[in-house]
Chains A and B, each alone.
Chain A
Amino acid sequence: MLCIAVNCTSGCQIVNEIPAPAILLSVTVNFTTFAVLQSAQMLFNSIGYLFFLPLTVAAYYTLPRQWRWVLLLIASYLFYAFWNPAYVLLLMASTGVSYFAGIKMSEQRSKPARRPYLFLALAVNLGLLFAFKYLGFFTGTVNQLGSIFGFGQIVPYMSLLLPVGISFYTFQSLGYVIDVYRGSAKAEHHAGLFALYVSFFPQLVAGPIERARNLLPQFREVHEFNPVLFSSGLRLILWGLFKKIVIADRLALLVQPVFGQPEYFHGIQVVIAMPLLMMQVYADFSGYTDIAIGSARLMGFRLSPNFNRPFAAKSIAAFWNRWHITLTTWLRDYVYFSLPSKSGGRVKSWKLNLNLIITFLLVGFWHGANWNFLAFGLLHGIYMALANIFKPELTKFNQISGLARFPKLLSAVNITATFFLICTSGFFFGQHPFSDSLTLIRNITEWSNTSAALLTIVKNNDFLLGTALIVFMLWFEYITMEKSFKPRFQSLPVSLRYAAYMAMFFFMLIFGIFTRQEFFYFQF
């Protein structure tokens, strides 16, 4: 007998017993042996990971080469089981079906012959995603429409516990299947390596969403201990932890009350909360990514970059080339390029813009099944479509106003305008109710008692520290990515370099937040 956990509309949790064959539902099987594991989720910023990672890395280099993939596979499944052992079954299902589809497609010569297997993999992976992530939204929406039109409740409301990382590993599996279907990747015949590709623990729960052509071949490589790569991995882990523990979690203290109780925040408070939110999300998610990439580097693996100083973007399009790069490129390659853009044999700009909006609606919907994320995606799609439509006029304006003659000033204006637009979309970035977003938008126009509110904000130690840390983070990433920082830093005496690492380590210990805070993107 399996159990399904169903959230009722009031937020309470009802557990209904259903017969075992009704799988694909939120399984809360009583795995008593894993009870301890469940109480200690394996977050990158947890004590558990502090032991798990070094042990895995040490074992990885100790084991004979032919057994290393086995170790990584066991470690990855164990890592996932720390969240909810039952959900390992979902990971296995996604892996098994994608592996089977890949093998079968590789045996077919034509695309039409491969198509049924593609559809099978799409159906299972998207079905899992729908059941666990979107079912609640759809049944809720259908019932809302039902009550509007006087039909009352049409379908029973069902919302299942969201398995961590499902949006990431299903997309990774799908990317592989589509590549095999298109013939741009070969099917992986080694079931163990394929399972490892889907479940590789550093990037399992929040990306980067890896392509088969990048990650799979690396599992066949022999990774000798590489001190340069190893130390760069350690540095990335340190920086990622710093961003998460010191910056993101500190900013969360300031931002969470605003989204938790929007009715009490007005004018300047909301204006300040929006950029803080975007910085929190960036520090959190890019911090996670740095730890993921750094952890993989310790074992000689190179994961794809996911961020490239997104707030330096001069347009929304450029922003998405710098933010969550692996998701954007995934949707570009597998969705945007697949949408029809021609009419009468010619590319139509209106169709391209419509495709942009559709793609960004999917970006929003990928983040979460609620109206907020749909609005977030729609807003970004509209921003990009408008930028395309008015590109000639904007260029003309820059020339007439004289801005074009001052490229640095023009860049600054573009960066500021882009950041402003990103912040405006921040109202809709989160799992809070859509009505709360509207409340915040309404409250932003209320500017009474501003000086007192501002005084309270600037007297807040966390605000002052958070602001200073944001400036530091942006500056540090600027000098490390844009300038010749690394060679200069490497040329410093060892003692100075170690002193810098130690300073950062102890700064993190003193200024960090050590209560268990999940990463923002785990909810996706």
Chain B
Amino acid sequence: MFLLLLVVNALLNSIYDRWMIYHRLNRNQDRQFEAFSDTLTYLMLGNSHDMINPQILGNSFNYASPSEVYTQTWYKFKYILEKSSKKPEYVFISVDPVNFSPKAENTIKFDGYWRKYVDYFELAKETGDTDYLVKWFTGRYCAYAGNYKFIFMSLFYLNADFSKVVNGYRPPRDYRNFALEPDRRASGIERATSYLSGYGTAPDPGAVRYFKRILELCAENNIKPILVRMPLTDEYLEHANKLVDMKSLDDQIEKIAGEVAGEYLLFDFRNEFSGRPELFFNADHVNPKGADLISHKIKTRLIESGNY
């Protein structure tokens, strides 16, 4: 019986690891990055907020992945610099409230994929949190546990077309217009509450620690960080402002960046699409139309600042 349990578990784990849509997307991104032979000027790192189209910028690769937190970003960035021959001139890092939320920082996801980059043992030792060991274990031996949504999503996208992924950039899986959302305010509250509640008065120390480390890596390798505040909907911001002291957060980020990175660029597009819900996929993500528009704006700013 016990042996059968182990066999079934191994089978399920293997199927999930191979076919989970985000694992497939992330590994496809890995393959594209490995095969990327152009000059790498701009590298986008971070989570799904980083909807910057590399085709618009040129000489760039978007390595952002769903639900990624700074801890993962740092490990991946370190891996790129140490184990690949590619070194970008600029690195884009989104600095949205969600990046500094304790909720985001404490929920490292997709361990089956991230085992390749993240040193869970080091994390457990550093933080004293044994949950990281559990995450390593489940990522290795039971990655499907608790992931029914991703199982269904993977089945739904079993025939996903990866040819649309260019230079790592994946347009949102379907075109959604937030303007058509029946209750935008409720949606904004739901998204903000899910990711920002319990924020407290200060950004999460773990997030800050790894944000600093990312900037330190940039400084050590003469890479200029470009911090981006991506556009957010009015509905999301209305509620987010109640949960997070946005001014204080922005000040702290700029202070850290000034101290650690020295030279950096900061593009603030947070309110850029105010009153334009049609440019959003949901309350806190731009849709392909919004993404292209913001990518053009970023290109303009880069040109204006002499960094293009």
Contact = CB atoms under 8 A, between A and B. Distances in A.
A interface: dominant SS:
helix
B151 interface: yes
A461 B149 contact: yes
A352 B222 CA distance: 81
A456 B193 contact: no
Interface string A20-45: 00000000000000011001100000
Given A502-B5, A502-B8, A257 B183 contact: no
A399 B119 CA distance: 72
A257 B145 contact: no
A511 interface: yes
Given A39-B128, A39-B130, A510 B186 contact: no
Interface string B236-275: 0001000000000000000000000000000000000000
6 contacts: A47-B134, A452-B182, A502-B1, A510-B147, A513-B146, A515-B107
Given A260-B197, A502-B8, A516-B131, A455 B144 contact: no
A502 B5 CA distance: 7
A510 B8 CA distance: 13
A453 B146 contact: no
Interface in B185-244: 186-187, 189-190, 193-194, 197, 239
A62 interface: no
Interface in B142-187: 142, 144-149, 151, 182-183, 186-187
Contacts of B183: 449, 452-453, 455-456
Contacts of B4: 498, 502
Given A456-B183, A502-B5, A510 B145 contact: yes
B189 A35 contact: no
Given A47-B134, A449-B183, A509 B142 contact: yes
A390 interface: no
Given A39-B130, A515-B107, A261 B197 contact: yes
B293 interface: no
A511 B148 contact: yes
A452 B186 contact: yes
Contact of A453 (B130, B145, B186): B186
A502 B129 CA distance: 31
Contacts of A472: none
A455 B182 contact: yes
Contacts of B189: 261, 264
Interface of A: 35-36, 39-40, 47, 257, 260-261, 264, 449, 451-453, 455-456, 461, 465, 498, 502, 505-506, 509-516
Given A36-B128, A514-B134, 10 more contacts: A47-B134, A257-B190, A261-B193, A456-B186, A456-B187, A502-B1, A506-B9, A509-B9, A509-B12, A509-B145
A512 B145 contact: yes
B190 A456 contact: yes
Nearest to A457: B186
B199 to A, nearest CB: 12
Interface residues of B, number: 32
Interface string B1-23: 10011001100100000000000
B202 to A, nearest CB: 12
Nearest to A38: B128
Contacts of B145: 509-510, 512, 514
B295 interface: no
Contacts of B137: 47
Nearest first, the 3 closest Cβ-Cβ pairs linking A and B are: A452-B183, A452-B182, A514-B146
A510 B130 contact: no
B41 interface: no
Contacts of A261: 189, 193, 197
A498 B1 contact: yes
A39 B186 contact: no
B32 interface: no
Contacts of B67: none
Contacts of B48: none
B5 A264 contact: no
Contacts of B142: 509
B144 A509 contact: yes
A516 B149 CA distance: 19
Contacts of A512: 145-146
B145 to A, nearest CB: 5
A451 B182 CA distance: 9
Nearest to B138: A514
A257 to B, nearest CB: 5
A35 to B, nearest CB: 7
B1 A35 contact: no
A509 B144 CA distance: 8
A456 B191 CA distance: 12
B228 to A, nearest CB: 29
A219 B226 CA distance: 67
Given A453-B183, A502-B4, A264 B193 contact: yes
Contacts of A40: 130
A453 B181 CA distance: 11
A260 B146 contact: no
Given A40-B130, A456-B183, A515-B107, A510 B151 contact: yes
A264 B239 CA distance: 10
A516 B129 CA distance: 11
Nearest to B182: A452
Contacts of B187: 456
B59 to A, nearest CB: 40
Contacts of A449: 183, 186
Interface in B91-120: 107
B170 to A, nearest CB: 22
Contacts of B151: 510
A170 to B, nearest CB: 30
Nearest to A498: B1
